[in-house]
Copies of this chain bind each other. A is one copy, B any other.
Amino acid sequence: MAVPPSTYPHRLLPLFLGLFQAAMLLFFALFVTYDEPSAQEKDTSLVAHQVYSTFPFFQDIQVMLVVGLGLLLTFLPRYGFSSLTHNFLLLNFSMQWALVLQGLLHHFHHGQIHLDLHKLLISEFAAVTVLISVGAILGRASPCQLLAMATCEVPIYLASEWVIVTCLGVLDVGGTITIHIFSCYFGLGVSKALFGATQQPLHPKETPTPSSDLMSLVGTLILWVFWPSFVAVLCQPGDAQHRAILNTLLAMSAGAITTVVASSLLERDGKLSPGHLQNGSLAGGVAIGVVADMAVPPVASLALGSLSAVVCVLGFRFLTPLLGRKLTLHDQCGIHNLHGLPGILGAAASVMAVLVASKDTS
């Protein structure tokens, strides 16, 4: 790993991770089981149906997180390999950790947790928050710091998700509020706490090369392609899921075009900035999540996608340097521009959609 070994004790990482995996083994041995095999034929075809309707979406999301997000983070050539590794490690760590916590909170019946694909998927969503937050401190934090962050973030996410979805009754099928906004501000808070005091100069090797920009853009494109699966996987099968897929496709497409418009207007010589492309193209997907399965017209998805791309590019151009100067807030990957601002835009759109819908029906 690229972090100089002198900054953390060598044995802390394997010790912490080894104890964690041992504790997982103990917990699974005591409390986790599978459903009893279905006795009846009808149940079998039901299970088969669930597998076929969820598993392809699940695989798409795994590709997004492991390959797509991993490659997106390799834009700093010096940290390319470790970014990919850390992303992979944190996904597995957070997923197992969320599985345990969610099992204890929600699914603990008669002393046992019955594991199924849906519970793994929900845990994967919890892990996404960690992977997003990491973007704020990429290449600056040691693996142990990242794991400590993940250990704290997962339970706080579960609590905040419970408050937002269960207590407040907010519908957020694509995780715009519960995942993107939450993890963005959590990550920025961690960045401020860890590195806020020091005005760190940029490492001379912390500049993307053409080759690392290309790999990172490939990551963006993989995320872009599979984003509809991420938004639609938890929707009601049928109309709602179909609409969520269409809305997400429209928002992603408008976002991609608008990113090019915004970026080439802002750059002096009309060239496109790789960073804008890598992030702006995805902003539409962040914003659309919260309204994707609602009965919004197609034009709303297009508009929301365009608007979030504009906001994202403007954020990179003006807000990130400003935050760095005024608040000494470092945001290495610009997660505030990709997850924070479009998330807030999506949340505002969902409030409007609900107001319009309630006016229509009254």
- Verify B71–A21 contact, CB threshold 8 A: no
Are the CB atoms of B221 and A51 closer together than 8 Å? no
| A305 vs chain B, min Cβ distance (A) | 9
CA distance A303 to B270 in the complex (A): 50
Residues of B within 8 A of A249 (CB): 120
- Cα-based distance from A117 to B243 in the complex (angstroms): 9
Which residues of the partner chain B approach A66 to less than 8 Å between Cβ atoms?
221, 224-225
CB within 8 A of A272: which of B1, B228, B303? B1
Complex contact A302–B25 (CB within 8 A): yes
Question: Do A59 and B260 form a contact, CB below 8 Å, given A81-B217, A218-B67?
Answer: no
* In the complex with contacts A44-B237, A48-B238, A217-B84, A246-B34 CB distance below 8 A: yes
Per DSSP, chain A at the interface is: helix
Of A89-97, A130-138, A189-197, the one contacting chain B is A89-97
- A117 engages B246 (CB within 8 Å): yes
Interface set, chain A 86-137, CB cutoff 8 A to B: 88-89, 92-93, 95-96, 115-117, 120
**Do B84 and A214 touch across chains, with their CB atoms under 8 A apart?**
yes
Query: How would residues 22 to 51 of chain A score, 1 for a CB under 8 Å from any chain B CB and 0 otherwise?
Result: 001100110011110110000111011011
User: Closest Cβ of chain B: how far from A329's Cβ, in Å?
Assistant: 29
Copies in the complex: 3
**Is A81 in contact with B17, judged by CB distance below 8 angstroms?**
no
| CB-defined contacts of A59 to chain B, threshold 8 Å | 60, 225-226, 228-229
CB–CB A221/B70 < 8 A: yes
Question: A18 at the A/B interface (Cβ < 8 Å)?
Answer: yes
Given the interface contacts A17-B261, A51-B237, A81-B274, does A242 sit within 8 Å of B116 by beta carbon?
yes
In the complex, what residues of B have CB within 8 A of residue A29's CB? 297, 299
In the complex formed, the residue of B with least CB distance to A222 is: B67
Residues of A128-153 whose CB lies within 8 A of B: none
A160 an interface residue at 8 Å Cβ cutoff? no
Interface membership of A203, Cβ < 8 A: no
Of the residues B18, B52, B218, contact of A53 by C-beta under 8 Å:
B52
Decide: B84 and A269 in contact? CB cutoff 8 A. Answer: no
Across the two chains, which residue of chain B brings its CB closest to A28?
A: B299
Interface residues of A in 268-282 (CB under 8 A from B): 269-272, 274, 277, 281
Nearest CB of B to A122, in Å: 13
